[in-house]
Structure 1
Amino acid sequence: MRKSAVVLCAVAAIGAVAVVLVPATSPETSSGDTELVSVVVNHGRTVELGPAETRSVPVEVTASDRSGIRAVDPIGLWGPNYGTLKVGPMSCVPLDAAGTTARCSGEAVIAAGSRALFDDQAGTWFVDLRIRAADGDRYVSKNAAGFSLKRTAGFDLASVVPARAAVGEAVTVRGRLRRADWDRDAEVPQQGTTAYLQFRPAGSSTWSTLASTGTDADGLLSLNVPVRGPGAFQWYAPGDKWTGSALSEVLPLRVDAPESHPGR
């Protein structure tokens, strides 16, 4: 009994020492008068990435502190399903004579190829940063700003319309919508997506929507529309949170002049 008690006490003591030796961790917090003024990724525009494409995306941070801004470091980007991206070294330039406000710029390299980015990581991403002032103050944020990272989409050469038709005749306008597949480094059919068929009369610069339809499992869509005069068609898909918008090439249509009937 005594031997068991001694062993139990020893185990308890070791456990207690272990607890003491493992320090409690807490997230870093902001301190002092350092302020974040703005964060701009890709000049405020959505980042769209095709299959196997690599892009350098600018990241710009503006901050202020009475003592001046020393650095923005570390800084990174994070997104859905544990997506993370590094931002290169930030270069800071004072914006005022007193040096209290500075703009710091760097770039993030975003690559869709080599299994570096996956389809389920498209969507809303955030900027994680620490701003360090000259007097030791700091500003820390895990989501200092958000931006959109999407898969590209496009209509391919299967988008067609007859070259010519007669007024009153019905023509079939076809299209095929595809989007980037980051997992496979390829473009694949985009199914179950609504696309709009638009028409522009000859001599006009204004497009109007005629009808909408959805893509099938092969990304194909088709609409029958009556011919009212010469002009051009195009397909438009507005995109969503994960995929960019797409616009087909212009599909011109010539319209035969009505036959003349002498005496009428």
Structure 2
Amino acid sequence: MRKRAASAVLGAVAVLAGLAVPGAHAEGTQGEVQIGAVAFDGGKDVVVGIYDKTVTVSASFTHPSGIQDADFVLWRGPDGADPYQTYDDRIISNQYYVHADCEATSATTSTCSQTFTFEPDWTLTNASAGTWKVSVQGVAADDGWTHTPDHATTRLQRESRLTVDAGPEPVAKGGTLTVTGKLSRANWDTLDYRGYATQPVRLQFRKAGTTSYTTVKTVYTSGTGTLSTTVTAAEDGYWRWSFAGTSTTPAAKATGDFVDVR
């Protein structure tokens, strides 16, 4: 109920905040503005923990008359369906109802940006994680415009955490070393971190005095996200777990745990 208390109001916003249609720029022509590559958060995936996070999206826009405005919207849904049918299937920028921040780099080209605030305690649920399409609209100084519903994609991911503990410390050379840890990720439904079950995680070792890790074995997390395995202690060095990530969860590496082998 916490996230749906204002569902009636949000539903109305979803309708009123639809992208501009041709009639909105009757003096211009669709397809006149050239839109460049879109970058979220400097080109990275959008990773959100259990607190609000604001990121910037930007793109370059070009038109002979110059650029006056731009808009970005995130949406998801099957191809051919109305991407704006529900509030949960669209995320609009913080500046959607006002002008974007457009900085002219020449007489014809501007870089326009807006910010998005992702709110786990309000608009996000665990089901929100994954790939979203980016709808982009650019408006020229003479009101020419271009609207591309699926100009790019970005991934919205639940922040991951990975821990490691190797022992006993110190350990006799040739003895058995137990390496444990836990892979967890942000739970946007409960606003805490929960274990990520049945995920492959690599156990890696870095010899003391060196700079690179090598993979020793792959272990799957338990139903609660925990990890545990044993290895033979051979030399001093650092042990860590390394997770490659999934479409909904970013990669993570634990800070190496040093073990003295005697």
Alignment TM class, shorter chain as reference = 0.7 to 0.9
CA distance, structure 1, for counterparts of residue 260 and residue 214 of structure 2: 18
Q: Partner residue of 1:150?
A: 157
CA positional deviation for 1:225 = 0.8
1:232-264 deviations in whole A, cap 9, x for unaligned?
A: 1001111100111121122110011xxxxxxxx
Q: Partner residue of 1:56?
A: 54
Mapped contact 1:168–1:227 kept (Cα < 8 A): yes
CA distance, structure 1, for counterparts of residue 234 and residue 31 of structure 2: 69
CA distance, structure 2, for counterparts of residue 62 and residue 214 of structure 1: 43
The counterpart of 2:248, out of the listed 225, 237, 242, is: 242
Paired AA for residue 35 in structure 1: Q
Mapped contact 1:34–1:138 kept (Cα < 8 A): yes
1:72-131 deviations in whole A, cap 9, x for unaligned?
A: 14x3222469432221331111111xx1111111211111113x1011111111222221
Paired AA for residue 78 in structure 1: W
CA distance, structure 2, for counterparts of residue 139 and residue 54 of structure 1: 31
Mapped contact 1:195–1:236 kept (Cα < 8 A): yes
Q: Partner residue of 2:144?
A: 137
Q: Partner residue of 2:173?
A: 167
Mapped contact 2:166–2:259 kept (Cα < 8 A): no
The answer to whether 1:100 aligns with 2:108 is yes
1:170-223 deviations in whole A, cap 9, x for unaligned?
A: 211111111111011111111110111000111111100000110111211111
Q: Give the match's secondary structure for 1:107.
A: strand
CA positional deviation for 1:32 = 4.7
Mapped contact 1:159–1:248 kept (Cα < 8 A): no
Paired AA for residue 58 in structure 2: E
Q: Give the match's secondary structure for 1:88.
A: coil
CA positional deviation for 1:143 = 1.4
The answer to whether 1:208 aligns with 2:205 is no
CA positional deviation for 1:228 = 1.3
Mapped contact 1:83–1:117 kept (Cα < 8 A): no
Please list, as runs of the form range in 1=range in 2, the aligned pairs for 1:110-121 lying within 5 A after superposition: 110-114=118-122, 116-121=123-128
Q: Partner residue of 1:226?
A: 232
CA distance, structure 1, for counterparts of residue 36 and residue 187 of structure 2: 36
Q: Partner residue of 2:36?
A: 37
The counterpart of 1:78, out of the listed 67, 75, 78, is: 75
Shifted more, 159-168 versus 105-114: the winner is: 159-168
The answer to whether 1:184 aligns with 2:183 is no
Mapped contact 2:237–2:258 kept (Cα < 8 A): yes
Q: Give the match's secondary structure for 1:120.
A: helix
Gaps of 5+ in 1: 1-26, 257-264
Gaps of 5+ in 2: 1-19, 23-28, 78-85
CA positional deviation for 1:65 = 0.6
Mapped contact 2:197–2:223 kept (Cα < 8 A): yes
Give the fraction of aligned pairs with identical amino acids, expressed as a percent: 26
RMSD (CA atoms): 1.8
CA distance, structure 2, for counterparts of residue 110 and residue 83 of structure 1: 14
CA distance, structure 2, for counterparts of residue 104 and residue 55 of structure 1: 20
CA distance, structure 2, for counterparts of residue 32 and residue 144 of structure 1: 13
**TM-score of the aligned structures, taking structure 2 as reference length:** 0.80
- Look at both structures and tell me which one has the larger radius of gyration over its CA atoms: 1
1:23-57 deviations in whole A, cap 9, x for unaligned?
A: xxxx9466253111221111101111112x11110
CA distance, structure 2, for counterparts of residue 148 and residue 131 of structure 1: 22
C-alpha spacing 1:228/1:160, structure 2 compared with 1 (3 Å): closer
CA distance, structure 2, for counterparts of residue 152 and residue 58 of structure 1: 18
CA distance, structure 1, for counterparts of residue 253 and residue 167 of structure 2: 15
Mapped contact 1:238–1:246 kept (Cα < 8 A): yes
